Amino acid sequence: MLKPFRGFRGGYKFINYDGPAAPVIVEDDIPSRVMIPLRQGFGQDVKPLVKKGDVVAAGQIIARDDHTVSSPVHSSVNGIVEDIKRMNYFKRVVAMVVICSQDPSKEIARIPGYSAEWGKLSNEEIEKLIYLSGVSSLDREGIPTRFKSSIIPPEDVKHLIIHGVGSEPYNISLELLLEGRRLLNFFEGVKILKRITPKSHVHLAVNGHSRRIIEQLVKLSSNMEWLDIYPLEPKYPQGYDEMLVPTILNQKFPYGYSAANIGVVILNIQAVLGVYEAVTEGKPFIERIVALCGPSMKEHVHVKARVGTALGDILSKRLDTSKPSRVVLNSLLTGVNLNDLTLPIDRTFSQIVAIPENKDREFLSFTRPGAGRDSYTRTFLAKFLPGAKKRPDTNQHGEERPCVSCAFCEDVCPVRIIPHLLSKYVKRGIIDETLMNYDIFNCIECGLCSFVCPVKIPLLAHLKEGHEKLMQQGCDRTQCILPYFDLKGIEEYRGVTKL
């Protein structure tokens, strides 16, 4: 059923950013060497099953651990294991399997037991396929199966939210992901997920501006009373779990914990497509569609890349190197820096954004009309010219000054806390229950407050600092969350909350 438009208070719409990825998929050659992190997405590190010198095939499971919450990891090429080493991968030390490719063919070993007519498979067989394909490690809760792929078993899932809202400045193209045949596959995937989580209600949240897709979805879902479709405003950070749950379910979110604690599983569109491919085609999740966007990218396309491909292999020809640029994973607001191009991509990548690193001091910068400048205030032309492309860069755009209490940060904060107040407390060294009383633990670290602040106060950093200092003093967010939720076995249920 199609539900009316809905949203949340606060947030900010990043529209019309320069250089979105065009809805085309380019497939690259098999890389000569891949590095596969043994922890991808949700779950714990897994133990390698191969050793140096082993011959592996694309799609072969090279690491798996059935005793911890995790999902198997596969080789993504046919080749020989060159090395297994621990290295720094996005602020975390992870074991990496380095595989030297021996074969340029794109064949992938299938997982046995799949069937194009999945209706004939038993739940156990389906769950096994999902687990073995590795797709069950996607997104923040993972996909629950009877294997330990998520922190809750499938029958505990009350709500399944699948979203493609695209509220970041740059997003993977929804049109592309749900194009033609893939839309039908996606729907089959949804049905498969509904089958393994029988008690769940399925909620499809899509960007409200993609009318064509919504119409098609409505048509396809006409007789499914267990499924609702929600057109949502692409307002950042709508795509966050913390925002989807209150907007769609009208429920409080246990900030800081995984939505699985309240019986909600939230998945992306690629995860559902992965489920379909795993169950009906036996395909392990070793390929990912990644959008390349931003003004510093020469080619704005989507690439289909093997997991473990070095960033350099993907970006070398596509990144504009004439000027310095900053490459960021997934989100311009919260994403990690990808400037080390030797690092590989994993299952969780969806956008790679490159923007110019702008150190230039601009003459009388504040007097510019600003046809390409984005601002929360309506003071630049870009807000009024409908087609104006906003050009992001990494300049700070102004000096730091004392807070003027304009309350922009409070207006945009999606969880309705008062960032400038908390920041003042933290900066004055007042770290006590006041901070907790003002809900510092609700902060979802979306970074919007820092973005809008006209005096460039690093509010996000201050909030994180306050947060950490509180933790050091032994305060825990459980004290703020527990009274509202029945989170039994909280340690076990905690899972991974921030990727």
C-alpha 245/C-alpha 247 separation (Å) is 6
Q: Which does 319 bind (CB under 5 to 8 A by kind): ligand SF4, another protein, none?
A: none
Q: Which of the ranges 31-39, 68-76, 260-268, 371-379 carries the binding residues for another protein, by CB under 8 A?
A: 371-379
- Rounded to 5 degrees, φ, ψ at 128 are -65, -45
Closer residue to ligand SF4 in complex, CB, 18/445: 445
Q: Which of 167, 200, 348, 450 binds another protein (CB under 8 A)?
A: 450
Angle of the 269-281 helix axis to the 123-133 helix axis, nearest 10: 120
Compute the half-sphere exposure of residue 3: CA atoms within 13 Å on the CB side of its CA: 20
Q: Which of 419, 466, 477, 480 binds ligand SF4 (CB under 6 A)?
A: 419
Least distance (Å) from another protein to the CB of residue 411? 8
* Residue 16 CA from chain centroid, whole number: 20
Least distance (Å) from another protein to the CB of residue 299? 21
C-alpha 120/C-alpha 126 separation (Å) is 10
Q: Which of 7, 33, 458, 499 binds another protein (CB under 8 A)?
A: 458
Q: Which does 82 bind (CB under 5 to 8 A by kind): ligand SF4, another protein, none?
A: none
C-alpha 483/C-alpha 153 separation (Å) is 24
Of residues 432-461, those binding ligand SF4 (CB under 6 A): 443-449, 452-455, 457, 459-460
Is residue 468 part of the contact set for another protein (CB under 8 A)?
no
Of residues 403-432, those binding another protein (CB under 8 A): 403-408, 410, 418, 420-421
Closer residue to another protein in complex, CB, 49/487: 487
- Least Cα distance to 81 among 277, 406, 291, 308 occurs for 308
- Least Cα distance to 281 among 152, 192, 368, 201 occurs for 192
Least distance (Å) from ligand SF4 to the CB of residue 423? 6
Q: Which of 3, 194, 209, 397 binds another protein (CB under 8 A)?
A: 397
Is residue 355 part of the contact set for another protein (CB under 8 A)?
yes
Is residue 415 part of the contact set for ligand SF4 (CB under 6 A)?
yes
* Number of residues in contact with another protein under rule CB under 8 A: 65
**Is-contact 109 318, C-beta < 8 A?**
no
Least distance (Å) from ligand SF4 to the CB of residue 172? 22
Give residue 107's region: left, alpha or beta (phi > 0; psi -120 to 50): beta
Closer residue to another protein in complex, CB, 105/367: 367
- Least Cα distance to 318 among 30, 26, 17 occurs for 26
**Is-contact 56 334, C-beta < 8 A?**
no
Q: Which of 365, 432, 468, 473 binds another protein (CB under 8 A)?
A: 365
Least distance (Å) from ligand SF4 to the CB of residue 464? 9
Least distance (Å) from another protein to the CB of residue 453? 7
Mode of pairing for the β-strands spanning 33-37 and 93-101: antiparallel
Closer residue to ligand SF4 in complex, CB, 19/256: 256
**Is-contact 270 171, C-beta < 8 A?**
no
Q: What is the DSSP letter of 440?
A: G
Give exposure, 172-193, as e/b (b: 16+ Cβ within 10 Å).
bbbebbbeeeeeebbbbbbbbb
Closer residue to another protein in complex, CB, 99/453: 453
List CB contacts of 276: < 8 A, sequence separation 6 or more.
185, 186, 188, 189, 192
C-alpha 250/C-alpha 238 separation (Å) is 14
Q: Which of the ranges 100-108, 390-398, 408-416, 429-437 carries the binding residues for ligand SF4, by CB under 6 A?
A: 408-416
Least distance (Å) from ligand SF4 to the CB of residue 114? 42
C-alpha 262/C-alpha 488 separation (Å) is 10
Q: Which does 459 bind (CB under 5 to 8 A by kind): another protein, ligand SF4, none?
A: ligand SF4
What are the residues binding another protein (CB under 8 A)? 169, 326, 328, 332-335, 355, 357-367, 370, 373-380, 392-399, 401-408, 410, 418, 420-421, 437-439, 447-448, 450-456, 458, 460-461, 479, 483
